[in-house]
Amino acid sequence: MPASNKPRATEPTSGEKTYKGNCFCGAVQFTVTGEPAAMGYCHCESCRTWSAGPVNAFTLWKPESVNITHGADNIGGYSKTPNSHRQWCKKCGGHLFTDHPGMGLIDVYAAVIPEFPHQAGVHVHYQETKLPMKDGLPKMKDLPEEMGGSGVSVAE
């Protein structure tokens, strides 16, 4: 099993743009810095049942781009599979991230970084969709090949 990605505990030093995020109650605060590796919507059953929502707007970041600034002790986690370590605030239950150690990336939910301009480039796990979205973006049956999937596209 790959080692977990640990968000770093130090401030970024680059001149890249930083966006603040927090959980539902504000006990956990963090920043993301720079550009995400990918952005889109995930329609998989795991995201739906965990979030209790029809789709998850994701932004995938290198671990060094995610910086916990307050309340790291309040972060709880659950791993149903070794590939997804889901993390939330233990005070309010608000969701924060899903760490994907196999990809070397952390999914920071677009909903918890409200000022970050989420621009979806792809829909993933679209074969499982409960909320079809006819927006002209690519629809992957599961995942792109570079993310360990089949790379097969499906119709909207």
- The reply on whether position 120 binds Zn ion by CB under 5 A is no
Residue 70 structure tokens: 């307050």
Query: Applying CB under 5 A, which of residues 5, 21, 23, 39 lies at the interface with Zn ion?
Result: 23
Query: Applying CB under 5 A, which of residues 89, 96, 105, 110 lies at the interface with Zn ion?
Result: 89
Query: Applying CB under 5 A, which of residues 21, 36, 94, 101 lies at the interface with Zn ion?
Result: 94
Closest to Zn ion by CB, 2 or 54: 54
- The reply on whether position 42 binds Zn ion by CB under 5 A is yes
Closest to Zn ion by CB, 65 or 86: 86
Partners of 89 in the beta sheet?
75
Give min distance, CB of 145 to Zn ion, in A. Answer: 17
Residues in the chain: 156
- The reply on whether position 44 binds Zn ion by CB under 5 A is yes
Rounded-to-integer distance, Cα 110 and Cα 116, Å = 7
Rounded-to-integer distance, Cα 72 and Cα 78, Å = 15
CB 13 within 8 A of CB 113: no
CB 40 within 8 A of CB 124: yes
Binding footprint of Zn ion on the chain (CB under 5 A): 23, 25, 27, 42, 44, 47, 89, 91-92, 94
